Chain A
Amino acid sequence: MSALLKTYSPRRVPFGAALRRRTPKTLSGRIGLALLVLTLTVALLGPLCTPYSPDRTVGIPFAGPTAGHPLGLDFLGRDVLSRVLSGGLSVVLYAGVATLAAYAVGLTVGLLAGYSRSWLEPLLMRLTDVLLAFPALVFLLLLATAFGRGITGVVIATALIQLPPIVRIVRSAALEQSLRGYVEAAVARGEGTLSVLRREILPNIARPVAADAGLRFSWSVLLIAGVNFLGLGLQPPAADWGLMVSENRGGIALNPSSMLVAAALLGALTLAINLLGDALAGGTE
């Protein structure tokens, strides 16, 4: 054995190969990926290519589709296509912010609770128990009352609602890891808490946590869209898919697309995340 071989230097996996390995292999997984790309594209790039201003009245309410307005007009006579194109950003953005905020806190608290097993832990767990004892949407409405109407309250409430389950999942994963030999070996070496968490525990819980984060995002979308639909989140004249379904209810007979297209895109988004999540969870084996 040459001296060169004895010296160990880590090898990196090329990014392309890593990406290919992570592409879902099942049909439903691929459909999910395609739907996700589609809806995210509409949501993120849509606002840049609206034919009309989404807030401008251009004709009579609930006018049916015409060449100029392929999806017809909404209850105020605004162009549905333009509103559909601009109405996805809020959903994705607010749900993303809520999920990220919840995860930033939940990951920290969960890791500490699971790893250190300190006096703090029972307290945290009781607190999450209390929050879990609330129906999510009711809690959301309550906080909407508290914060006054508006999207800020809804985003904060959504993050708060997601927090307890995140803490629980991260905690139990970290707890399970903390009993493993490699973690104990690191502890016995005297490595600091941060180093143990970063080097030994985090890489090993990343996968279940990432899968969960996907589900959380999907749930955030559902919650926020639900509140917007109830009219307690984003306020008119904002263009938002959930709000659009709600405000165009009266036109279901006259111009169904005023309601259905936004509903379909919202459905496609949540369906995509679910399909993709299933595919990733199935591929862990």
Chain B
Amino acid sequence: MTDETPLLEVSGLRIALASGTPIVDGVDLTLARGEILGIVGESGSGKTTTALALLGHAQRGAEITGGSVRVAGREVLGLSRAERREIRGKLISYVPQDAGQALNPSLRIADSVTDVLRRHREPAPAAVLGLLGSVDLPATTEFGRRLPHQLSGGQQQRVTIAISLACEPPVIVMDEPTTGLDVLTQQSVLDEIRRLRAERGASLVYVSHDLAVVSQIADRVAVMYAGRIVEEGPIATLMERPRHPYTRGLLQSIPDHRRPARLLPMAGSAPGVEERPDGCAFAPRCPQAADDCRTTPPVLESVDFERHQVRCPHWELTPPATLGIPRDRTEVTAGPALQVRGLRASHKGRGGTVVVAEDISFDVRRGECLALVGESGSGKTTIARCLVGLHLPDGGSVRLRDAPLPARIRKRSAAQRRGIQYVFQNPYQSLNPRRRIGEDLARPGHVLRGLSVAEARAEVGSLLERVQLSPRLADRYPSQLSGGERQRVAIARALAARPDVLVCDEVTSALDVSVQAAILEALAELRDDLGVALLFITHDLGVVSGVADRVLVLEGGRICETGPTDSVLRTPEHPYTQRLVAAAPTLAAR
């Protein structure tokens, strides 16, 4: 890090909807040469909006209403269209999220690269290939002739990075460049970015929802909440001693496989753009909020030394983050609730039959949580669907409470259907949009437990309370609920059946990390209180460490390792597990 004038200087940046509602409200940032600045925030925090504004761009329906963005001494805002186009790519470039969607499906990748390269210099084929080579892609004409869909997700993302380097801009903005990639691919892309910085001295703004990822790559980090930066400083300082209660809460919410611990979720969820409160936007969720917090918007204050700033008047009161309260994992000795033996499943597609799970055997005891871990395509969801009867397995047997469980739903008794319940991955599609929450929640009791409609309805209130929701939600429609609330309702609906086994399929992967922590803790409590057996399916080792007693690692449809969570995560034996553990983002790596 050098002390010359910053390469990127943002001050008082404001972006508002056409209605005047601010999305981003007074953001200040600086980026020094050769530095990586992380911008972290949950959905709706305004981080992507801020990132795009660095290139002078506002999304449809939004407008940059004030402030200044200077890149290498040049003002970006208030430029004409032509001037703006001129600086993009040359002065500051952009790496989009989801490269598979962002690359032009009709252009060969060499042509995509050439389109940007030609703005900088006469595009020679050698230069194009050189760029591809510089991000570790094959620098061959054959590779350049490929179309985006012929590349893997990691390769696609590398192409977008190569494009961002084409005109050698001093500043590169990366917007969630690894979101949606498998953990191993994510690791390789992060390595690539580190190398670029080391070799080229690239200066980066790295936007992500994932503090663990950012902590691995950034020098400094700015934490955004409800359109404002609430804390900013060197990454190590922030991780060690967060001063804003939100940063602290975030740290305590992130499950980390290197540091298996109880999660301490924050109350509530982040406000939407239209419902941000006066005063400090975090006040409603803040454990140390005082009266003045609800009326006066706080300003950024310097902590200890100049480069650590926090937007909280009471930052001195913020206690250090409580990390690493170990979860007491009592050895579960109860009998098995579910026994799976030699399960085999396949998908019939146009290309023939593909076996997705083979020779899968495991037990889940009562009151135990078993995690099924694997990357996309490992067969974990298919296994879960076989158990609940939504997919017909090719072979193997399943026993529920020591009695054989037929594969077909039609052959299962009501008691068997009641005994095993499923919570789906996508909370936005798991509740019927045309029915009120109460109706949805009353249904399992009526159908599976033989309650009358009135009896089942009478239970709705206590079910909602069971998952820490207000009984008033019963009259709402799913669209009136946040993602976290919907997932709680989905869990409540499963609980309404009084299951012996609860299968949770990636139930938190669509949720923000603070909401995820609350859901994970709620599930852990339910297991303790109700003694229900949990089968938890996830790709996220952090989540595993947060909830599971035992873990089962899947690779390509087969079990490659199984054992108690702590020992598998600490001393993995199978090479695949070792790679997974090494690649999973962690806060503790620094």
B460 to A190, Cβ gap below 8 A? no
B424 to A184, Cβ gap below 8 A? yes
Q: How far is the CB of A244 from chain B (nearest CB, A)?
A: 44
B447 to A189, Cβ gap below 8 A? yes
B417 to A189, Cβ gap below 8 A? yes
B432 to A182, Cβ gap below 8 A? yes
Task: Decide yes or no whether A180 CB sits under 8 A from chain B.
Answer: yes
B residues near A189, Cβ cutoff 8 Å: 417, 443-444, 447-448, 497
Q: Which of A5, A180, A181, A187 touches B472 (beta carbons < 8 Å)?
A: A5
Secondary structure at the B interface, as helix, strand, loop or mixed, is helix
Task: Decide yes or no whether B101 CB sits under 8 A from chain A.
Answer: no
A6 to B429, Cβ gap below 8 A? no
Task: Decide yes or no whether B271 CB sits under 8 A from chain A.
Answer: no
Secondary structure at the A interface, as helix, strand, loop or mixed, is helix
List residues 493-518 of chain B with CB under 8 A from any CB of chain A.
493, 497
A203 to B434, Cβ gap below 8 A? yes
List residues 204-236 of chain A with CB under 8 A from any CB of chain B.
204, 206
B431 to A8, Cβ gap below 8 A? no
A residues near B426, Cβ cutoff 8 Å: 181
Tell which of B35-43, B184-192, B311-319, B406-414 binds the partner. Answer: B406-414
Q: Which of A5, A8, A180, A204 touches B430 (beta carbons < 8 Å)?
A: A180
Task: Decide yes or no whether A129 CB sits under 8 A from chain B.
Answer: no
Task: Decide yes or no whether A200 CB sits under 8 A from chain B.
Answer: yes
A6 to B471, Cβ gap below 8 A? yes
List residues 423-443 of chain B with CB under 8 A from any CB of chain A.
424-426, 429-436, 438-443
Task: Decide yes or no whether B465 CB sits under 8 A from chain A.
Answer: yes
A11 to B429, Cβ gap below 8 A? no
Chain B contact residues (Cβ within 8 angstroms of A): what range? Answer: 35 or more
Which A residue sits closest to B465, measured CB to CB? A1
Q: How far is the CB of A99 from chain B (nearest CB, A)?
A: 24
Fill in one digit per residue for B442-464: 1 if any A CB lies within 8 Å of its CB, else 0.
11100110000000011011100
Q: How far is the CB of B450 from chain A (nearest CB, A)?
A: 13
A190 to B447, Cβ gap below 8 A? yes
B residues near A181, Cβ cutoff 8 Å: 424-426, 429-431, 490
Task: Decide yes or no whether A16 CB sits under 8 A from chain B.
Answer: no
Q: How far is the CB of B456 from chain A (nearest CB, A)?
A: 9
B430 to A190, Cβ gap below 8 A? no
Q: How far is the CA of A120 from the CA of B429 in the complex (A)?
A: 27
Task: Decide yes or no whether A284 CB sits under 8 A from chain B.
Answer: no
Q: How far is the CB of B477 from chain A (nearest CB, A)?
A: 11
List residues 376-419 of chain B with CB under 8 A from any CB of chain A.
388-390, 409-410, 412, 414, 417
A residues near B422, Cβ cutoff 8 Å: 184-185, 188
A188 to B474, Cβ gap below 8 A? no
A6 to B447, Cβ gap below 8 A? no
A5-B471, A185-B424, A190-B410 are known contacts. Are A204 and B417 too (CB-CB below 8 A)?
Answer: no
A11 to B475, Cβ gap below 8 A? yes
A188 to B388, Cβ gap below 8 A? yes
A203 to B471, Cβ gap below 8 A? no
A residues near B497, Cβ cutoff 8 Å: 189
B residues near A14, Cβ cutoff 8 Å: none
A10-B436, A10-B439 are known contacts. Are A187 and B390 too (CB-CB below 8 A)?
Answer: yes
Q: How far is the CB of A69 from chain B (nearest CB, A)?
A: 54
Task: Decide yes or no whether A66 CB sits under 8 A from chain B.
Answer: no
A188 to B389, Cβ gap below 8 A? yes
B417 to A185, Cβ gap below 8 A? no
Q: How far is the CA of A189 from the CA of B420 in the complex (A)?
A: 10
List residues 172-199 of chain A with CB under 8 A from any CB of chain B.
180-182, 184-191, 199
Q: How far is the CA of A186 from the CA of B421 in the complex (A)?
A: 11
A5-B471, A187-B390, A189-B417 are known contacts. Are A203 and B461 too (CB-CB below 8 A)?
Answer: no
Q: How far is the CB of A175 from chain B (nearest CB, A)?
A: 14
A8 to B438, Cβ gap below 8 A? yes
A185 to B435, Cβ gap below 8 A? no
Which B residue sits closest to A179, measured CB to CB? B429
Q: How far is the CA of A1 from the CA of B462 in the complex (A)?
A: 10
Q: How far is the CB of B491 from chain A (nearest CB, A)?
A: 12
A188 to B430, Cβ gap below 8 A? no
List residues 40-59 of chain B with CB under 8 A from any CB of chain A.
none
Q: How far is the CB of B158 from chain A (nearest CB, A)?
A: 32
Q: Which of B390, B457, B461, B471 touches A188 (beta carbons < 8 Å)?
A: B390
Q: How far is the CB of B460 from chain A (nearest CB, A)?
A: 4
Query: Which 7 A-B residue pairings sit nearest by Cβ, starting from the closest?
Result: A6-B461, A181-B430, A181-B424, A8-B438, A203-B434, A8-B460, A182-B432
A-B contact pairs, 10 of them (CB 8 A): A6-B460, A6-B461, A8-B442, A10-B438, A10-B475, A11-B436, A184-B390, A185-B430, A189-B444, A204-B433
